[in-house]
Amino acid sequence: MESAHYFSASPAGPFTRKPLTVELAGAKRTLQTSAGIFSPDGIDKGTAVLLAEAPAPSPTGNLLDIGCGWGPIALTLALRAPHARVYAVDVNERCITLTNENAALLGLDNVVASTPDAVDPGLRFDTIWSNPPIRIGKDELHGLLRLWLPRLAPGGSAWLVVQKNLGSDSLQRWLSAELDETFTVTRESTAKSFRILRVRKASR
């Protein structure tokens, strides 16, 4: 499938749900997926690295998944932090629908998936996890990160997984130059050709 296909708001072709069984937060879960979205057949390698490597999210407050797909990151955040509110954003309508439906299948009432512009711009996030959509292009990617990373709450951290050969090191340099002095950007780990980058907002 063309990578641009799942970055469109309304993918072509029928929206036909199909079952998907995956392991999230240490247990098998039966969810729904569909064609026309990112990684419809399971958890992609980058997301798997992020879920394995990132430390526990903030147990309370607001958490964010940028580019939610069918929901593996957002659902894991919600399962691991049941007293937090998890926001999941995507431009793809199917992804938004599937993430909300999958949260309902798991009995999670602390997840809300929506388009980015539906999220209150005044919200601040204690934890952000993302496998950012590198393939949308550098300008679009930079715009996406400029939109969300400054919304970290004081003391909050964003954890981003980026493949080395898709520019993780150059992205780290750009983030360090782009964000103001209240942010620090570090490479936390490398696993299976992926880097985990951490963006930390200073405490007050």
HSE-CB of 149 using CA atoms within 13 angstroms: 27
Query: Quick count: other Cβ atoms within 10 Å of Cβ 14?
Result: 8
Write the CB contacts of 51 (distance below 8 Å, at least 6 apart in sequence): 24, 43, 72, 73, 76
Instruction: Kindly indicate the confidence band of residue 136, based on its pLDDT and cuts at 50, 70 and 90.
Output: confident
> Distance (Å, rounded) from C-alpha 108 to C-alpha 106?
5
Residue 5, pLDDT > 60, answer no
Against a cut of 0.75, is the pTM above it? yes
Write down the pLDDT at residue 3: 42
Confidence of residue 170 (pLDDT cuts 50, 70, 90): very high
Mean pLDDT of 121-141: 93
Burial of 152 (0-12, 13-18, 19+ CB in 10 A): buried
Nearest to 116 by CA among 153, 137, 91: 91
pLDDT at 2 over 60: no
> Which pLDDT score is estimated for 164?
82
Task: Give me the residues paired with residue 29 across strands.
Answer: 22
Q: Which of 102-106, 149-153, 160-164, 195-199 has the lowest mean pLDDT?
A: 160-164
The pLDDT of residue 179:
97
Residue 112's φ and ψ, nearest 5 degrees, are: -135, 120
- Per-residue pLDDT of 10-51, as tens digits, reads 677 889 999 999 999 999 999 999 999 999 999 999 999 999
Mean pLDDT, the chain, integer: 93
Amino acid at 146: R
pLDDT at 8 over 80: no
What pLDDT was estimated at residue 156?
Answer: 98
